[in-house]
Structure formats: structure tokens, C-alpha cells
Structure 1
Amino acid sequence: MEHEFRFKLVLFGNVAVGKTSIVDRYINDKFEDEYISTLGYNVFEKDIDVGGTSVAFMIFDIGGQEQFEDLRKKYASGAKAALLVFDVTNRESFENIRTWYKDLENFSDNATFILVGNKVDLEGKRQVQVKEGADLANEINAVGFFETSAKTSEGIDDAFYRLAQILLKKSNKS
């Protein structure tokens, strides 16, 4: 592989939208049905090959509870990438994305981010339509919008891979 790039990535979103499940599926290819709230933060690393270039993501999964705002501020600092995550079966989590976006803007150094609508395996409970997610992604200048299911793995690898591609492209321009 030619080069190695390392990017700090944070996940922001309401409690119980599936941030930890997305990371667990991406890193370990597993899914836990039982919900366990993230207390504080967890850090993971994943290397991927993007067209012959090695990219490492340092992934900071930070609890979505209000009391972890200081942690979000601390760990978003210096982040080059982010996933803003909502649950397609929970309209409130979608409506709060603008707040998470503002936090990302305030706490990070112009992070490149993707909007993720998770839990598409629960289609019968959907409260947020695909077009709404795509429209919001455009409104907040996300570089992409993906619908995912941590349970079935749908869209997970694609979202991280696309983010890595965009980050590499930006790195090669600077």
C-alpha cells in the first residue's frame, strides 16, 4: 500500500440511535440485541484499503447523554470525520440532528461528515422517510447520506468507505 492516512472520527446522535451498534458491526461484524447505554466513550481503530491506500479510522463512540457534552467537546476537537446518526423509527432523533450538527461545528475543526439514518431493518416502524434524510443532509452540507442497519449490516461498510474516499481526496488536495 502506498500511504497511510489516519483520521479521527466521532459519532454524534441521540441516546439509543445505534451509534455503538454501528461501530460494533463495522469493527467486529457483530450485533447485540440488548441495549447497553454508552457511559462516557469508547475508542476503536479500523484500517481499510481504499484503492490501494491504507486508511486508519480512530473511532470515538461518545455517549449521547447530556452529561457527556464535555467529553464530546474534548474528543471532537481535532476530529476530521464524523457520523451524525439518527434512528429512522424515532422522529425526535432526526429533528435533533441540527443540534448535533451545531455541536460538531463548534467542537471540531471543520470535520467532514455523513448523515446516517439507522435501524432501516425496522421498516414497519419508520417515522423518517428517505427523502427527508437526504434533504437534511443537503441542508447541513453533509458529504453523504446513508441508511443503515447495524442489525443486518446494510449500508455500514459503504458509509465508512465513502467517508474514507472523501477524506483521502481532500487530503490529496492539501
Structure 2
Amino acid sequence: MPRWAFEPPGGLTSALRIRRLKLKINVVGERAVGKTSLIQRYIEQKHNPEYKGTLGVHMQRVEVELPGEEEGDLMLATVALFDQMGEHAIRENFRDALFYGTDGALAVCDIERPETLHPLADWIRAVSVVTGGVPFRIVFNKVDRAKGSKIGPEESAWLREQFPNVPTSMTSAMTGEGVDDAFSGIITQAVDAMLAMEKDRKVRKVLRHRILSAAARRDTVGISKNELFAGMRDAKPDEIMEELDNLVRLNLLVQYDSGPKTFLKSSSAPASFRYQITPLGRKVAASPTEQDLVVE
């Protein structure tokens, strides 16, 4: 049965619409901080006191139900949890393979071992280099041994300086304290980031097609950036300029000044430069479903 990231408002039987998602969450950190035990506690609701270090990478899947964007909607996420071996050489030599497609990361340290906190910056950097930046959450594990905590004011100040806006969780794989909240938190962060990216793509696609349609109406006369600014006051000028560059790159528009095509960047073009629709652009403007009009 799927797990709930939040208390269910009625479950699958009462959902009006169900959307399925796939997420990849990496659990990273130094050796013996409790990454495997946290995953086991979250998925199986149990703790194995015998420590066995992870060799390479181990993956487990879990289904999680979350409320949808609209009331009555439901999202069913299949989450692949990747348990990474806490070995620096493996991380640096195989980071592309390890972290490609990651949607979020839990960075785990051991509160009894302050030396496991600072290396989290390297783990987060490695994930970010491959992904371009995804949500992550810092987890302080083994709070059942809170009396033995070695993370003091100096470490806390370093953490605030390095990651000022990053959420944190206090967990115990042994007792289960905070474990569900930590995993639910990073899953929710990853889903929110995914939905925000989708929304931005939709907005950009609409803006791009508006620009293309405006150029199509002007046909061989073309259209200038100032004319676009005046006609699309709901869009920011830098967004319009970025989309003009994208349309030129896609060969849907050509940029010219009194005839010859130029390859100047749109943002640096003088006001006299105009944009003329190409035959391909005219086809796309007439049928927006023909091409996605998205530049990654």
C-alpha cells in the first residue's frame, strides 16, 4: 500500500483525479551515519541494530500519496530511494552515473561525530554539479543519543552560513523519531520543485507562441523588440529577449537589420533590429502542437 506524505483527506477512493509521478531521491553522507537504517525505518518501519556498510549503491522503491494541486486531486509518487556508499572516491569518479536524474537529496550526518557534518558540503556540491541544483534537506541522525551530541555552536554557525535556507531534520533510525518527517519533507520539496518547473515551462511556451504569432502577423515586415515590449506589458523585457533568442536558435525567427541576417545576441541588438518569421516558424505558429517550443 502507498504511504502518505500527509494525513489522507479521503485516499484513492475519494480522489477526483490521480496524477502519477516518478522521483529519484539520493541519501548521501559519510560512512556509518545511518543512511541505510533511515531508509529501512522509513520503508519497513523497523530497525536492524547490526551495522552493515553499503557496498556501491542500493535502491529501494516506495509509493507515496500526496494531495494534488487542486482540491480533490491526488498525486501518487513512485519514489526511488538511492542509498549511496559513503566513499569519496566513488562519489568523485562516478558522480554522473550516481546522481543523474536526481530530484532531491537527503544529506545525513551523525550528531555524535561532528566530522561528518562538514563533508556534507562536498556531497551537496557533487549532486548539484550533476543536476544543476535540486532541493535537499540536512538530517542530523542518531538523536536517541542526544546526550552524546558533539555538534555545538561552532558547527551550527557553519551550517547556517553554508546553507542558510536549507531545512533540517532531527532523526533516529532506532526509535523512528523524525524519520517520516524527513523523507516526507524532501519528497514534498522535490514535487514542489517539479511542479514549479512545469508551470514555468507552460508560461514560457505560451509567451514564445505569442511572440511567434505577433511576428507571423507582421510577415515580411517583421517586428522589433520595442514593439513586443509595448504589446506584451504583462511579460518582463528580459523574458521576451530570452524567448527571442530561443526562437532564433530554433530557426523559427531570423534577426535582421535592413536585410542581412545577423547572429548578434538579441539582448545586445539595437532597436532598429527586427525579427522576421521563417517558413518553419509560420507552420508552428499555425499549429502550436507541432513543436514543443521548449529549450532546455
TM-score by length of 1: 0.89
Equivalent residues in 2 for 1:140-155 (5 A)? 140=163, 143-155=166-178
Which residue identity lines up with residue 53 of structure 2 in the other structure?
S
How far off is 1:111 after superposition? 1.9
2:38 aligns to what SS in structure 1?
Answer: helix
Q: Does 2:191 align with 1:168?
A: yes
Which residue number in structure 1 is paired with residue 111 of structure 2? 88
How far off is 1:129 after superposition? 4.4
Quick one: which of 78, 83, 89 aligns to 1:56?
78
How far off is 1:30 after superposition? 1.3
Which residue identity lines up with residue 55 of structure 2 in the other structure?
L
Q: Which moved more, 1:7-16 or 1:104-113?
A: 104-113
Which residue number in structure 2 is paired with residue 111 of structure 1? 134
Which residue identity lines up with residue 97 of structure 2 in the other structure?
K
Q: Which structure would you say has the larger RCO, counting Cα contacts within 8 Å and 6 or more residues apart?
A: 1
Change (3 A) 1:65 1:106: same
Where does structure 1 differ by over 6 angstroms across 4 or more consecutive aligned residues? Answer: none
TM-score by length of 2: 0.54
1:95 aligns to what SS in structure 2?
Answer: coil
1:124 aligns to what SS in structure 2?
Answer: helix
2: CA distance, partners of 1:10 / 1:30 = 20
Equivalent residues in 2 for 1:14-163 (5 A)? 14-51=30-67, 52-69=74-91, 70-129=93-152, 132=155, 136=159, 139-140=162-163, 143-163=166-186
Q: Which moved more, 1:54-63 or 1:102-111?
A: 102-111
Which residue identity lines up with residue 66 of structure 2 in the other structure?
V
1:78 aligns to what SS in structure 2?
Answer: coil
Gaps of 5+ in 2: 1-11, 13-17, 68-73, 199-296
How far off is 1:123 after superposition? 1.0
Change (3 A) 1:76 1:64: same
Which residue identity lines up with residue 103 of structure 1 in the other structure?
A
2: CA distance, partners of 1:10 / 1:48 = 16
1:83 aligns to what SS in structure 2?
Answer: strand
1: CA distance, partners of 2:163 / 2:141 = 18
Which residue identity lines up with residue 88 of structure 2 in the other structure?
E
Please list the CA deviations of residues 19-73 of structure 1 after superposition, one character each: whole Å capped at 9, or x if unmatched: 0001111111111111111011111001111123212211110110234223444
Whether the aligned pair in 1 keeps the contact of 2:139 and 2:168 (CA below 8 Å) is yes
The structure where strand makes up a greater share of residues is 1
Cα RMSD after superposing both structures? 2.2
Which residue identity lines up with residue 27 of structure 1 in the other structure?
I
Q: Which moved more, 1:160-169 or 1:131-140?
A: 131-140
Whether the aligned pair in 1 keeps the contact of 2:63 and 2:79 (CA below 8 Å) is yes
Whether the aligned pair in 1 keeps the contact of 2:134 and 2:190 (CA below 8 Å) is no
Bigger Cα Rg: 2
State the identity as a percent.
28
Whether the aligned pair in 2 keeps the contact of 1:50 and 1:164 (CA below 8 Å) is no
Q: Which moved more, 1:4-13 or 1:140-149?
A: 140-149
Which residue identity lines up with residue 31 of structure 2 in the other structure?
V
